[in-house]
């Protein structure tokens, strides 16, 4: 099965949903894997197991994606350790298998994505009692009602989502989340706007007809919206042997700080 057969009706950002799936699956079968996800391997193989799903992504970029996934999982696990039976909301979930990686028999997972994406997701990853999906744009804030009705401690994860949008587009949603879930937490990844310009020629962006739009130069800018920055994780914070020569970027401040994962509390 080629990529056009697997995602026949998806356009723009939605068309990138097979990239993280392929990243997880390819990583999981390596003997030196830093992330293990058997469910992703099953799904990847069921869809044809083609490296075309990577949309031309280079190997070191694939590893950066896996490192990012590992960190999102770490933030989610730490939250669930503090709040057993809590709620994890994955914004832009695509074919995410985080529920299967983290499942402790107690927590609840909600995945949010566009209707055409959720339609595809439910074919391969059906909803269950503690793993449900919502077919809606993240900018249609009615989905927050479903989160609120569950009445659980909540962490919102937006992995590989916000860089496709400007802060002007994302701000109303985040402010609504902060107002309704003041004890909640939020984790998302972002890029320095300068580096986004360097990525304009990325094969993933080019082949999905998308572009990066994030324009916040400093993570602290978002604190003016009512959020509080708790942690900032960078790809070069700790040595990662698998990066090889790409590790040298840690010595170039602009590149070392080009992308990061941010962990906020949804109140001051």
Closest by alpha carbon to 19, among 268, 168, 47? 47
Rounded to two decimals, what is the model's pTM? 0.89
**Domain map (residue ranges) of the chain:** 59-265
**CATH code of the domain made up of 59-265:** 3.40.50.150
Structure confidence at residue 7 as a pLDDT band (50, 70, 90): low
Average pLDDT of span 234-244: 88
Contacts of 198 (CB under 8 A, 6+ apart): none
Task: Give residue-wise pLDDT tens across range 112-170.
Answer: 999 989 998 999 999 999 999 999 999 999 999 999 999 999 999 999 999 889 899 99
> What's residue 225's pLDDT?
86
pLDDT at 203: 47
Beta bridge partners of 111: 90, 133
């Amino acid at each position: 099965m080629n990529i056009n057969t697997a995602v026949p009706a998806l356009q723009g950002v939605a068309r990138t949903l097979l990239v993280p799936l392929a990243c997880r699956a390819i990583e999981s079968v390596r003997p030196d894997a830093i992330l293990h996800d058997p469910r992703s391997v099953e799904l990847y193989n069921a869809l044809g197991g083609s490296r075309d799903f990577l949309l031309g992504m280079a190997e070191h970029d694939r590893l950066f994606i896996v490192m990012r996934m590992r960190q999102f999982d770490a933030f989610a696990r730490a939250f669930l350790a503090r709040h057993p039976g809590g709620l994890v909301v994955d914004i832009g979930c695509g074919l995410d298998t985080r529920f299967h990686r983290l499942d402790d028999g107690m927590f609840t997972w909600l995945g949010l994505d566009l209707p055409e994406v959720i339609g595809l997701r439910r074919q391969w990853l059906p909803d269950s009692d503690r793993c449900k999906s919502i077919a809606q744009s993240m900018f249609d804030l009615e989905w927050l009602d479903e989160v609120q009705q569950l009445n659980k401690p909540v962490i919102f994860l937006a992995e590989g989502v916000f860089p496709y949008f400007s802060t002007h587009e994302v701000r109303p949603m985040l402010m609504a989340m902060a107002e309704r879930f003041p004890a909640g937490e939020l984790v998302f990844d972002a890029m320095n706007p300068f580096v986004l310009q360097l990525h304009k020629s990325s094969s993933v962006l080019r082949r999905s007809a998308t572009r990066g739009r994030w324009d916040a130069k400093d993570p602290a800018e978002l604190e003016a919206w009512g959020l509080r920055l708790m942690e900032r994780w960078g790809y070069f914070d700790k040595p990662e042997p698998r990066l090889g020569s790409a590790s040298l970027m840690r010595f170039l401040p602009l590149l070392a700080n080009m992308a990061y994962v941010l962990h906020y509390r949804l109140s001051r």
